[in-house]
Chains A and B, each alone.
Chain A
């Protein structure tokens, strides 16, 4: 993809296959397949305007604040990580690592295969040249050269195929892993939200306790509070009144927080459940994908070796027929 050239037929074919797989995966997914924008996408004649319509609708539902939250909580860590999701996270990481290793090696092999193809062609050409010099064996040598050239061609076919299929599929799998990871992160986010809200709630509850129990305005333990108290006494503020106001405020906050915490808890739970389900789906899809990927790889190779063997089988009798008046 990095090499540019978006109009290269090979690239277009690769992309087409990738996009097809993408759509198929959506279609299979129990939830996504019912998404309205998916249907619109399939039907629409003017996707851009339809998309704008969709976005507007979503905006009304106010989900865009999640981005802000995500940024805020980027560095915060969950206090009580759920083991289940930790495992998931690890698994995905490991999978990613493996896939990346495979991708890297396969790319290296493909590159060398491409160079090898060029060398084989050169050798074939050289043998043909030799055939021109050695008039006694011109015909067999030329046929040999032709065999080598054909071999280079099927090597090229194999490389192209592997690049289009195996590498692409690996790449898609990796992208899929990324998606999973971001969902997991989001789930963590929700839990984080919940935890933070809970903490906040706890704080406020503790504050109320304090207010109620020791009857003094908050923060009496600190020197600053002490001075404040003195100042207020001087000013003649009605301490009791202030306390009552403060208490009232705290109570309100607590009430809000309790609602929020409950909501967040629901969200988090919901999200976690969804995530767990999604992960299952991911696992299944991944297994299917990987198996397909490996099958494609294997099939490509088997075909290559069959063709190769044929080529070499055919040229051997031609060479053996070269007759020398032996001494």
Chain B
């Protein structure tokens, strides 16, 4: 199983997409948090240069520079692009990467070498030598980072990246100007696609904020162990579940025994190499002391020479493995973490969509309830009117019928519940006599209020109870509570009917808003999912290619080593 699960675009996941176009037709875009040009639009000379075939960027040197302002020193890396040079320090690389991640939360931005790694300092014996080794390593990895950016279909067209490569562009200035300064703080709240133009921030108020933004810590950093796993989805997208599981396994495999054992191999080879150099020296000494017996002396000398060249070959092998196998593996371990973070981002967007859908659902239920109460009230009112015209003493009856209805309302824990009880009034308030009768339901509402359960199920079955029996039950209650509740609710609510209508209106508004939000979120989710999937596919191809190259280098390095040794030992054999 790999990242590119299914290429079938017509798998619509539940209520996620409203697909207006199929996957293949969609050009490769990314989900960006601020408007960007479409990839491919010409933008500057650097961009042109990058997109010529066979260009590469080189990090040619690393020099210590004294910072005039703060009197501290830092290392400036010289980037050679074409025939121009630009100098940047590590923190600027780091910040470039962070910015790119914030603009393109769905893209797998290549990792940069870590800031402080314990393993680098583990074997510090000769500090200056170790420093030089670390700096060399950083140079290589930064160069790799830049070249990967330059080869990326989308990132290579990002103008900010171009400015980074410009000799005269001050990075700190760039940081404080748009577009970087307009980057939204939280990518979860941004809703934008590469080709769309409207940036909708207004929705953010009612968007439940995700607990942690996935990009606050640089995903290039080694671990995301501190971040809790996001809650599971109700209807997760199977492709991404697979991806999430796979990434986890991949990361474990790489950073586990593979990386560990290879590091040990390289270290051991180094130790053996130094032993061999000693052995060579001893043999040479031996050869000298056996000068009396010439053939023996020659034999020993030859063996000594073979051991010496073996030492050199082993050193070469060790270095080749370090640079061509261990470092790329390190890079892919970092990649695995980056992908985890991106999947998490998508996951959270999905969560957002689901929770929005939930809210919408509950609001709709509210509305249903309210509207049902309205119609009930209206129905009762009509019946009441008819009765009133028939008999004059039916007020108590009607109120009892009211009581029944109000009692049977299901209330949500919403703040609307209180008001909802009061809205059980007939629609028409034109008759002042109604108000007098409305005293009665307050009693119920009081008991109703204390009876709140979140159960939306509406036992409207009770509405069919014959009014006569209800009258007997209610009359006592009516007398006890009515006076109390009347004053109470009188203070709170003047016109429950109007309130109810108000609420219906508000709920309808909220629903409309939520609907729009859901639509946007789903559209975003759709875009994100597609963008992530596309980048995962691209990454998968890159990864296979790189894995192949890593293993090839491994095999070739060993082959060369065997070859060299074979040569020198065969020579020695002809004693």
Interface residues of A (CB under 8 A from B): 94-95, 98, 101-102, 105-106, 108-109, 112-113, 115-116, 119-120, 122-123, 125-127, 129-130, 133-137, 140-141, 144, 147, 151, 283, 287, 290-291, 294-295, 297-299, 301-302, 305-306, 308-309, 312-313, 315-316, 319-320, 322, 324-327
Contact = CB atoms under 8 A, between A and B. Distances in A.
A209 to B, nearest CB: 48
21 contacts: A98-B285, A98-B286, A101-B282, A115-B264, A116-B265, A116-B269, A116-B272, A123-B261, A125-B257, A130-B547, A136-B2, A141-B547, A287-B293, A291-B295, A291-B296, A297-B303, A302-B570, A312-B558, A316-B555, A319-B555, A322-B548
A130 B283 contact: no
A109 B275 contact: yes
B286 A309 contact: no
Contacts of A115: 264, 268
Given A105-B279, A108-B275, A134 B544 contact: yes
Interface in B179-233: none
A273 to B, nearest CB: 21
Query: What are the 10 closest A-B residue pairs judged by CB atoms, nearest first?
Result: A126-B258, A122-B261, A312-B559, A309-B562, A305-B566, A308-B562, A98-B286, A123-B261, A322-B548, A119-B264
Contact of A112 (B271, B283, B289, B290): B271
Contacts of B566: 302, 305-306, 309
B265 A119 contact: yes
A59 to B, nearest CB: 40
Given A144-B551, A147-B555, A316-B556, A298 B306 contact: yes
Contacts of A325: 541
Interface stretch (B248-256, B342-350, B439-447, B510-518): B248-256
Given A115-B268, A133-B246, A135-B2, A324 B544 contact: yes
Nearest to B258: A126
B544 A305 contact: no
Nearest to B272: A112
B272 A113 contact: yes
Contacts of B249: 133
Interface in B539-566: 541, 544-545, 547-548, 551-552, 555-556, 558-559, 562-563, 565-566
A123 B551 contact: no
B575 interface: yes
Contacts, number: 165
Given A133-B250, A315-B555, A305 B569 contact: yes
A129 B258 CA distance: 9
A106 B303 CA distance: 13
Interface residues of B, number: 58
Contact of B286 (A102, A119, A287): A102
Contact of A298 (B246, B256, B260, B569): B569
Contact of B299 (A120, A290, A308, A322): A290
A122 to B, nearest CB: 4
Nearest to A122: B261
Interface string B359-388: 000000000000000000000000000000
Q: Which of A95, A102, A116, A298 has the most CB of B within 10 A?
A: A298
B265 A291 contact: no
Q: Which of A125, A141, A302 has the most CB of B within 10 A?
A: A302
A327 B570 CA distance: 45
B300 interface: yes
Contacts of A151: 558
Contacts of A320: 548, 552
B572 A298 contact: yes
Interface in B273-298: 275-276, 278-279, 282-283, 285-286, 289-290, 293, 295-296
B558 A123 contact: no
Nearest to A308: B562
Contacts of B122: none
B538 interface: yes
Given A102-B279, A112-B271, A324 B548 contact: yes
Given A102-B283, A120-B265, 20 more contacts: A102-B279, A133-B1, A133-B249, A134-B2, A134-B547, A136-B544, A294-B300, A298-B572, A302-B569, A305-B563, A305-B565, A312-B556, A313-B559, A316-B555, A316-B559, A322-B544, A324-B548, A325-B541, A326-B541, A327-B541
